[in-house]
Amino acid sequence: MASIKYTYSIENNTENEEVAVSKLTSEIRQSDIVTALDYISVNGDVLDIWMKELLSSGDETLLDSTVGSHDGKEEIIPQTVHLDSTYYGGKPSIRSESRPDGTSSYFTTRGDSASGIGDGTRLEWDFSNADNDVSAPSGFKKKQIEAQFADNIWVKEGTVYFYNTPKGATIDFFVVCPAGQYYYDRNGTPQLASEDVVLSHYVVAHPMQDSAPMGDELNTEAATIDAVPPTYKFRIEVTTPDTDTQSNGYAELEVYRERSVLLPGETV
């Protein structure tokens, strides 16, 4: 069944005439609305909320109320310091990390599907076949693999595993806004993507050679500040000399997310 759109005016229907998409997404999902949220898009003053199914009158009233009380203030605070007396025998302790409240660490080599978590596209490649081939510079060949997640995702780290890889091979990681979805330009203005738009190229030409069965880690101190919405795509591109017919491998992402499984009665 196609998603159902509910349209609001940001100026007239929200508390402060502002919208923080990731926060509103969480507010809707944490509300008593029974029908699952698909995604949210913003174009100027127009706020479109796409639900998986037609809302009941009760759910529509709850959605109106949730939008009306939304204050538009993003509350994701990186590198926060928590005073936590839950551990260490009730004694106060300090915990500094970039994990947003309400999320947990999630390690995966796969995206999500339309019906489940962790059972979508696997971030893997194999140059013994022509799967996922795209155009490449002269003397090279390239594969492009894309995956999506059902929830907001905060990117933390990653690991690349590769085998029998020749000198000159590289891997790149991207976050992509698909055609037909909205993104913010440098001025903070929503733009409708007429084609896939790369918003982040966060691993650039990382070299690979020989084999790394224990993994080549990509480490960072903090997660991304803003969530990657479920409408966006994670893309990896692997480039190798055109004589390569045997290298293969896969990437594992460490991200923060609110769910790692679907509880009984839940949908993506």
* pLDDT digit string, tens, across residues 202-216: 999 999 999 999 999
Can you say how many angstroms the Cα of residue 87 is from the centroid of all Cα atoms in its chain?
31
Tens digits of residue pLDDT in 127-139 = 999 999 999 999 9
- pLDDT of residue 75 exceeding 60, the answer is no
10 pLDDT exceeds 70? yes
Mean pLDDT of the chain: 89
Q: Are 173 and 203 in contact (CB under 8 A)?
A: yes
**3-state SS, one letter per residue, for 114-150:** CCCCCCCCECEEECCCCCCEECCCCCEEEEEEEECCC
| Amino acid 56: pLDDT | 93
pLDDT digit string, tens, across residues 173-190: 999 999 998 998 888 888
pTM exceeding 0.75: no
Q: Which helix or strand (DSSP H or E) is residue 184 part of? A: strand 182-184
Contact 161, 122 (CB under 8 A): no
Segment 27-44 mean pLDDT: 90
User: pLDDT > 90: what percent of the chain?
Assistant: 68
Note the pLDDT of residue 84.
Answer: 45
State the pLDDT confidence band at 94, using cuts at 50, 70 and 90: low
Side chain identity, residue 75: E
- Whether 42 and 229 have beta carbons less than 8 Å apart is answered as no
Residue 33 has pLDDT above 70, yes or no: yes
Helix axes 57-69, 21-29, angle to 10 degrees: 140
Q: Which two tokens stand for residue 97?
A: 């990390």
Q: pLDDT for 210-256, tens place per residue?
A: 999 999 999 988 888 888 999 999 999 999 999 999 999 999 999 99
Two tokens, residue 57: 């009158």
Q: Are 235 and 177 in contact (CB under 8 A)?
A: no
Task: Give one word for 234, left, alpha or beta, with left for phi > 0 and alpha for psi -120 to 50.
Answer: beta
Tokens of 255: 């991200």
Band of residue 73 on the pLDDT scale cut at 50, 70, 90: confident
What does 190-231 look like in DSSP terms, one character per residue? EEE-SS-EEEEEEEEEEEEEE--TT-EEE--SS--SSPBPTT
pLDDT reported for residue 132: 97
User: Residue 153: exposed, middle, or buried by beta-carbon count in 10 A (0-12, 13-18, 19+)?
Assistant: buried
**pLDDT value at 89 more than 90:** no
